[in-house]
Structure 1
Amino acid sequence: MDNRRLLILYGSQTGCAQEVAERIWRESKWLHYSGPVVAMDDYPIDKLIFEKKIIFVCSTTGQGDQPENMKTAWKFLLRKNLPSNSLTNVEFAVLGMGDSSYVKFNHVAKKLYRRLLQLGGKPLCNIGLADDQHDIGAFAVIDPWIDNLWTALLEKHPLPKEMVLIDRNALPPPRWRVQILNDDDSSSTNNKLPNADLLKTNSTTLNCLSNIRTTALNHFQDVRLIKFEYTENSLKYSPGDVLMVRPVNSENAVNSFFELMKENLKTELNRNSMMTVVQQSPDMPVPYNLSKPFTLYQCAKNHWDLNIIPNRYTFQLLSYFTNSELEKEKLQELTTAEGQEELYNYCNRPRRTILEVLSDFPHALANIPLDYLFEVFSPIRPRAFSIASAPSVHLNEIHILVAVVRYKTKLVAKRFGLCSNWLAGLVSGDKIPAWIHKGTFKFPYSRSCNVIMIGPGTGVAPFRSYVYESTTKGSGDAETLHLYFGARNRFGDFHCVNDWEKLVDDGKLTLYTAFSRDQDHKVYVQHVLNNRGQQLYKLLTSQECFVFVAGNAKDMPAAVRTEFSNVFMKYGNLDSVESEKTIEQMELKGRYQTETWS
C-alpha cells in the first residue's frame, strides 16, 4: 500500500461523524495524504489487514449501540477466531462522537479502541471523546484532537525529501467543484434535488393527518402531537423506535440567505441559477442528493442548514477569504485555543446562526468562491423523534410529540429550531420523506415484569407507544405498568392527558404526576419517586423489574438515578457503593435504560 494512504472510516446515525471524517480528509492534504472516506459497512472489512493507517470516527446510539452503518463491520471485528496479530501492521486513531448525559458515553469508540489494540493495532494518538454537552459542543474535543493527529503523523511519518510540507495555514481544497450551467445544459433537468432519504432501508413518504397543539394557548411552550399516515407494509416499527426526518429551511431563512448574498450573486448567480456538483477526487464521491443539476434556490431550501451555529473550522475558512485585515485578525483570533472563550460568547452563548455570522464578516462573504459554499454551509442533518404511537393500535399511523423550539437570546432576532418549526408548520395532506431507526429502548412484553417509566415533558412519547402496545397484547396493566409524568401545569402542558386518563380508568396503567408550578413549592418527578420509595423498592425486588427514563438531559436523569440509589440504600440496607453497583448491574442487563437529549 502507498505510504501516503490514509483510510478514513465512519459510523454515524445522523451524519455528524461523516462530516468530521470529511473534514479530516480535506485537512490531510496538508500532509499529502490520500485515501477514501467510507462508512464502515461500505468498506470490505476483511481488507483492513492490508491498510497501514486508518482513522475511525464513530458515534454511539441507544444503550451503547453501534450506528446502523457500522454494525456489520463491528460484528466482523468481534469474531473470536481473528488472530491477535491481525492488525500488527496497522496504525489507527479513534475519535468518538458522544453525549455525556448518557451512562454509556462514547461506548462504541471506547470498545472499538480496545478491540483494535487486542488485534495488534498501534494507536497513532490517544482516543478522542467528543461531548455534545460541552459548552462549545463536540468541537471542544474534535479540534485539538485533529491537531494532535497531524502532529503525531508528521512525527512518525515525516514527508519524503521530494515532498514539501504544505503550509498548515493554507486554504484546504474543497471537496467538489461546482459548475454553473447555461440554459442548454440544464434544459433536460427536472429542477429538483434527488431525495436520498427515500433510498434508505425502511423509508417511505408520510402523509400528515393532523397537527394538534397539546399545550394550552397561554402556555409558554408550543408542543404538538403530529399524526402521519403511511401505506400498509411500507414501514415497520416497534415501541422504542425513532422516526427520522430531514427538515427544510423556512422561506424567511431562504430569503435572508439571498438578501445576504446579493453582493456575491449579482454578477453571475440568482435563485434560478442551475448548478452541478462535480467529483474532483475518487476518494470523495458526490452524494446522491447532489448528483443531479439543481438550482441555487433548491440548495438553499433543501440542502444547506441556514440555521446552524458555526464551529471553529468555519471561522478558519472565512479567514482565508476576507480582504479586510480587521476581519482576518478577528477570524484568526476566534480559531486559536486562547480565543475559544470569546468564540463561545460570540457564537454559542447567543446561538448565532451561520447567516448572522456571515453578515458580521461582509468582506469574507463577498469573496467566498462558489466551490467553498459547500464547505462554509453544512448540510441539513436528519433529526430523530421518539415514536408515540403503537403499531397494533394506531394502524398504518405514526405519531410524534414535538416541542417547538423558540426562545430569545441577547440578539434581537428570536431563535427558531429548524426542524421543530418546520414540523409545526405541516398541515393535513402535507407529505414528507421519513425512515425508521431502531430505538434505544428495548421494552419487555411479559406479565412477570414490573415496568417503571419516568417521562417528564415530551419524554413521555415512547411510553405512550409502549403502554398501548403492551396493554393491547395483554402483557401489561395497572399492576405492572407505572408511569411517572412531570410538567409545569396540569392544565398547561399535560401532554396526551385524555390517553392517560382513559388507560387509568380502564385499569391498564398506574399514573403518578408532578406539576412543578401548581403549588407554592416546586415538585418534580424525582420528588414523587422519593415519596413512593417503599412501594418502589417492592416493585424493584418482588419480580423482574425494568426502569426506563426519558427526557431532557440537563438535570432530570441524574436526579432520578439518585432517587433510585436512595431507595436501595434506605429500604435495601445497602451503602452508596453497593447501591450504585446494583443500578449498574441493572444497566448491564438492560433493566435500567435511559434516553435523553439536550
Structure 2
Amino acid sequence: MALNLPDYLSVVLGDMCVTMWAIIAALSMVVATTSSVSMTPLKDQLSTYTENVEEDLPFDNVLSIERVLDLLPTENSVTTESQLAALSGELVSSYSSNNMDDSENSLKSVDFNGSAKLRDEVARTDKQIADDLAVKLIDQSVWLIINATSDLEDYREEQTILNFTSPSSVGISEISSKRRKYHPGMVANKSFLIAYGSQTGQAESIANQIFDHCNAIGLSPRLHTLDQNEKEFHIENEPLVIIVISSTGDGDPPENAARFMRRICRKTLQSDFLAKTTFALLGLGDSNYSTFQGVPKKLEKQLVALGARSLVPRGEADDQVGLELAVEPWIDLLYQNLTNLFAMSSLSPEMSDLSLVTGSSDSVITVSSDNDVIGDGQPMLNVEHAVFPSEGPCLIRGSPELSNNSNLKVPANPAPFLDAVHVNEVSPDPLATPWQNGARFPGMEGELIPARVVGSQLLTDEDVKKPKYEITIDLDKNFTLDYLPGDAFYFVVPNPEPEVNYILNRLGLLHKADQSLNISLNPHTTKRAARIAAYLPTLTTLRYVFTNCLDIRRAPSRPLLRTLANNASDESEKRRLLELVSHQGIKEFTEFVSQASVSLCDVLLAFPSCRPTLNQLLELLPRLMPRPFSVASYNAKKLHRIRFVYSIKVFLAADGRQYERRGLATEWLTKRTIGDKIKVIYQTPTSFRLIDPPRDSLAVNFTDVNLIMIGPGTGVAPFMAFLERIKHQTNETENSLQDEKQKVTRMLFCGCRQVDRDGLYIDQLYDWRDLNLLSGLFVAQSEVDAQDNFKYVQDKLRSMGRSMYELLNSQKGYTQVFVCGDANGMAKGVWETFVDIVEKHGAFEDRNQAITYMSELKKAGRYREEAWS
C-alpha cells in the first residue's frame, strides 16, 4: 500500500529547510503512483533542483539529501510504506534534537485556518507517524509550508497543501517553478513594509501601533500610506507587506489609498505581478453599511489574483461592535507568524505587570468628587458624580475572572519620544497660527475657508429626543467653489474650554496654559523613527494644542490607558487599568471604554490618582478632526450661501461618563450667533452627488433621472439640495414641472418621530410635491400608532415593493437610489429591504441572485449611500 504523506511531512519538518519539504512532497507523489512508471528522470531532476536552490534558503539541512534520494524508486524498485515510516521517524528525531531547546511556550497552538484540518489528518494516519511532536509543530510550520509552494488557494480552502496526482502531470521542475522563493535579504535585515489607507485616523493608528511594536523588538519595518506606492516603494518588489485599510463613504477607499487601488486594479497587470509578495491584510469597517469591508475584500481578491500570498487570514474589524475585538487577535496572529518568518524566539514584548500590583480591582476606587475651579470661580466641569453599580463589572471594577487573574498579558509601556518645555519667548498669536500647523488630512479639499454665520434656528420642538437645528453661513467671497448637492463641508470645531482647563489643571500646568511651549524630539528616546506629528506646532501654547490639535473627547486608546496605569499611585487603580488594556480584558475595554464613549476627562475623574505627564498626552492623544456636514441647499446664484442641518445628541452622565455633554460639534454649533466668524473646509467629493448620468443611459441629464431618495431624520438634508437644483434647472416654471410629471419619477421617503413635532421641512416638501417636483412624498413616524401610519421608511418601501422593482428594472428610464442618514442600522436595513424586494418581485431563483442584482446596481452607480455615526 502506498502512503501519501505531504500533509504529515509538511508538519513534522517545521523549521527545517524548504528544500527538504519539496523533496519529500515529490517522494510522496512518487509513492502514490504505480511502480511501472520509470522514476529515474524524476530522480535526476530532483538532484538538479536541490543543487540549484539549496544556497538560496535561510535554513540548515538536518537530513542528508542523499538519504532521501536513496529512497526514491528507480525503474526496478518501489519505495515501501515501511521505508517512508522510517524516514518520518528520522525527521522527527532530527527535528527534536535540533529545535527542542526552545521554551515550550513557543510551540503553543494558534487558531490558524487549516490547522485543525491538519491535526485531524495527522491523527488519522499511522500511530507511529502521528507523533505528539507533529501535533505541536503544526501551527509553527504552516507559514513555511505556504511559502514553499504557490498553491495558496488550495491552502486557503483547507484542501491538501500540494495535491499531485501523477508524475506525468507535475514534475519536479514544476515544483521548482511553483515554490515560493524566500528573500534571504529580508530575513537577514528583518525589513518589510507596513502600508495603510486611513480616512479618520483609525487605520493609521493601528499601522503605527504595529510599526512601533516591530521596531521595539528589533525588526526594521518601513511605514507609508498606500498612495506612496511607485514613489517611496514598489509593491511588486516588496517580499512582505502588512496592510491596514478601511472602507469609507459608499464603499470607497480612503483618500490616501485611492490612487493605489486604481493602480493595483489595472487590467493590464499580469497574473504574476505580485509573485514575489506575501501580504497580511487588516480591514476596518462598520457593519451598519451595506458596503462593510468592501475595500479590504476587493483589495485581497486583487492581490491574490496578481500572484501575492497571504501570510495570515484577512482580519475584519467592525467599528459597530468594537474594533479591538478583531484587531487584537489578528495582531497577535500576525506577530506569531512574523516570529516564524524572522526566526525570532518572540515578537511579543507583552509582560505580566502584576508584580507591581498587590491589590486588585475589587478594592474600592474613590471617584474624584471635587468640582475643580479656575481662578475666576467658574467650574471647569459640571461633574454629576456618576454612581457605578455596587456589584458587577464596570469601568472601575473588573469581572471576577479578570480581577483574579494573576497572569495578565499586558502590553509594554509606549516608549517616550517627545520633549515639551516652556520657553521665554513671546507666545504665538493663536489667530495668526496656521490651524493644526497647516497639516492636511484625508478628505481635505483645498484650504481653510473663512465664513460668517448669517442664520441659525431650531427646526423642531425643543423638548424632542434629538432636537434639529439649521445653520446658514456665507463663505468668504474670495473663495469660489463649484460644489454640488450631495457634497459636504468640514466645520473646524475646538474642544470645550472647561474640559481643556480640567486636563491642564490635572497636569499641574493650568497656570502655564498661555506661555510659549517648545515641542521637540527627546534626544534620548529609544523609539525608532520617532517624529513629531505634523499637526503639532513646534512653537505653541498648551491652550492652543489642547483646544485645537488633540482629541480629548475620543475614548482613550489602550496605549494611553497603559500609560495612565504607569502613572497611577493607587494600586487598585493601577490594577484595574492594567486589566482594561490586557489581552484578557479586550471585551471589557470595548464595553466600558470605547463603546461607552468615555473621554479622557471621564477616565481621569474615575481614576483620580492618575497623573500623566504632558509629553505622554502629546504623544498618545489622537488628532482632533473637523466634523463634516452635508450641504442642505443649492442656489446657483448664491453659491457662497449654504445651509446645513444637524441634530443634538445628549450623552448622559452614565455608563462611566462622569458628566453630561452633547456632541462636540453640534454643541459648538448651537452656540454660534449671527455674525460669528468660523472656518470650514470643503470635503473631497464622494460618489453621493446629483450629477448627470452616464452617456449610455436613457437620461440626458440629472433632471431626467428617476430618483428614489431615502432620508430619515437629518438624512433629508442633501435631498433638499437635490430638489432645489432640479427646480432651478427646470427654470422654476410650473409648465416645465408639469411636463416632468409625465416623464420622470422622483420619490422621497423621510422619517421622524412625530411629523408635527420633529418633521423637517415638511411644508416645503409638500409644496414641491404639489408643483410636481416630487411625484411621491412618504413620511414615516416612529412614535405614531395610527392605522395608516408606517413607522420606518423600510415599511413603506416594502409596501411598494412591486413598483420599486419595476422602477429599478425599467427599460424606459434611468433610476438611481440615494440613501442618507444615521448609520445606526438604517443604511444596512434599507439595503436589506431592497434585496427583499428584488428577491420577491424579480425572477430570481434565490437570495444570492437578488444580492448580486443589487450589487451590480451599486457598482454601476445606481445605488448610493451616505451615512454617519
Q: Does TM, scored on the shorter chain, surpass 0.5?
A: yes
- Asked whether 1:142 is paired with 2:327, we answer yes
Task: Assess if the C-alpha contact under 8 Å between 2:273 and 2:306 holds in 1.
Answer: yes
Matched, 1:17 2:200: no
Q: Is the 8 A contact 2:573 2:607 kept in 1?
A: yes
Aligned partners of 2:288, 2:595: CA distance in 1, in Å? 20
Partner of 2:21: none
Select the residue among 522, 533, 539 that pairs with 2:807: 539
Amino acid at match of 2:487: D
Give the structure 1 partner of residue 677 of structure 2.
430
- Residue aligning to 2:853: 582
Say whether the 8 Å CA contact 1:239–1:465 is kept in structure 2.
Answer: yes
Corresponding position of 1:180: 421
Task: Identify the match of residue 224 of structure 1 among 454, 463, 469.
Answer: 469
Which residue of 1 is the match for residue 434 of structure 2? 194
CA contact (8 A) 1:193 1:289 kept: no
Aligned to 2:135: none
The 8 Å contact of residues 393 and 469 in structure 1, kept in 2 or not, is answered as no
Matched residue type, 1:172:
P
Instruction: Give CA deviations for 1:44-66 in whole Å, capped at 9, x if unaligned.
Output: 16633443432222221233222
Give the 5 Å matches for 1:34-183. Answer: 34-43=220-229, 44=231, 47-134=234-321, 137-159=322-344, 169-174=411-416, 176-183=417-424
1-side partners of 2:593 and 2:347: how far apart?
36
Once structures 1 and 2 are overlaid, which stretch shifts more, 224-233 or 343-352? 343-352
Q: State the AA in 2 paired with 1:546.
A: Q
Q: Structure 1 residues 576, 203: CA separation in 2 closer, same or farther (over 3 Å shift)?
A: farther
Q: Is the 8 A contact 1:241 1:440 kept in 2?
A: no
What RMSD, in angstroms, separates the aligned Cα atoms of the two structures? 3.0
CA–CA separation in structure 1 for the residues paired with 2:495 and 2:652: 19
Structure-1 separation of matches of 2:237 and 2:803: 59
CA distance in 1, matches of 2:643, 2:219: 47
Alignment partner for residue 552 of structure 1, among 813, 822, 825? Answer: 822
Encode CA deviations 1:70-92: one digit per residue, 9 max, x unaligned: 22222222234434444344333
CA separation of 1:571 and 1:331: change in aligned 2, threshold 3 A: closer
The secondary structure found in structure 1 opposite 2:624 is: coil
Question: Does structure 2 conserve the Cα–Cα contact (< 8 Å) formed by 1:193 and 1:298?
Answer: no
Looking at structure 1, the residues matched to 752 and 282 of structure 2 have their Cα atoms a distance apart, in angstroms, of: 37
1:26 and 1:198 map into 2 onto residues whose CA distance is 22
Question: Cα distance 1:358–1:581, how it changes in 2: closer, same or farther (>3 A)?
Answer: same
Q: 1:239 aligns with which of 472, 485, 508?
A: 485
User: Match for residue 512 of structure 1?
Assistant: 778
What SS is found at the alignment partner of 2:820?
Answer: strand
How far apart are the structure 2 equivalents of 1:164 and 1:112?
Answer: 27
Q: Which moved more, 1:299-308 or 1:542-551?
A: 542-551
Aligned CA distance change for structure 1 residues 189 and 14 (closer, same or farther; 3 Å): same
Give the direction of change, closer, same or farther, for the CA distance of 1:124–1:564 in structure 2 (3 Å limit).
closer
Give the 3 Å change call, closer, same or farther, for CA 99–394 of structure 1 in structure 2.
farther
Distance 2:649 2:850 in 1: 38
Cα distance, 1:232 vs. partner? 5.4
Separation of aligned partners in 2, 1:129 and 1:498: 44
Query: Do the aligned partners of residues 385 and 378 (structure 1) sit closer, same or farther apart at CA in structure 2, a change above 3 Å counting?
Result: same
Conservation of the 8 A alpha-carbon contact between 2:710 and 2:818: yes
Amino acid at match of 1:130: A
Give the TM-score of the pair, scaled to structure 1: 0.88
One of 487, 502, 510 as aligned partner of 2:767: 502
Distance in 2, Cα, partners of 1:53 & 1:172: 25
Distance 1:556 1:31 in 2: 44
Aligned to 2:573: 327
Amino acid at match of 1:486: G
Partner of 1:449: 705
| 1:388 paired to 2:632 | yes
Q: Distance in 2 between matches of 1:433 and 1:121?
A: 42
Match 2:495 to one of 249, 252, 257? 249
Residues 179 and 278, structure 1, Cα contact 8 Å, conserved in 2: yes
Give the Cα–Cα distance (whole angstroms) in 1 for the partners of residues 310 and 832 of structure 2: 37
Q: Equivalent of 2:213, from 5, 15, 27?
A: 27
| Superposition deviation, residue 138 in structure 1 | 1.6
Distance 2:835 2:298 in 1: 27
CA contact (8 A) 1:350 1:409 kept: no
Residue identity (%): 28
Q: Which letter maps to 1:509?
A: L
* CA–CA separation in structure 1 for the residues paired with 2:818 and 2:684: 19
- Structure 1 distance, partners of 2:651, 2:724, is 34
Q: 2:721 & 2:769 partners in 1: Cα distance? A: 15
C-alpha distance in 2 between matches for 1:164 and 1:110:
28
- How far off is 1:552 after superposition? 2.2
Residues in 1 aligned to 2:651 and 2:613: alpha-carbon distance in whole angstroms: 34
Gaps in structure 2 of 5+ consecutive residues: 1-184, 352-410, 694-700, 731-735
Q: CA deviation at 1:486?
A: 0.8
Instruction: Return 381-390 or 38-47, whichever deviates more.
Output: 38-47
Secondary structure at the residue paired with 2:547?
Answer: helix
Out of 791, 794, 798, which is 1:526 matched to? 794
Equivalent residues of 1:88, 1:120 under 8 A apart: yes
Count of residue correspondences? 585
Larger-Rg structure:
2
Instruction: Note the residue ranges of structure 1 that are not aligned, 5 or more in a row.
Output: none
Structure 1 position 492, deviation (Å)? 1.4
Q: 1:362 aligns to what SS in structure 2?
A: coil
Q: Does structure 2 retain, via aligned residues, the 8 Å contact 1:456–1:484? A: yes
For 1:273-352, list aligned pairs within 5 A: 273-279=515-521, 283-348=529-594, 350-352=596-598
Tell which deviates more after alignment, 165-174 or 32-41: 165-174
Distance 1:534 1:164 in 2: 58
Corresponding residue of 2:645: 401
Letter matched to residue 546 of structure 2: A
Give the structure 2 partner of residue 596 of structure 1.
867
Q: 1:572 to 1:156 in 2, by over 3 A?
A: closer
Compared with structure 1, are the counterparts of its residues 562 and 110 closer, same or farther at alpha carbon in structure 2 (3 Å cutoff)?
closer
| In structure 2, distance between residues paired with 1:34 and 1:583 | 45
Query: Would the aligned equivalents of 2:488 and 2:683 in 1 still touch at CA under 8 Å?
Result: yes
Structure 1 pair 396–563 and aligned structure 2 pair: CA distance change class (3 A): same
Q: CA deviation at 1:173?
A: 1.8
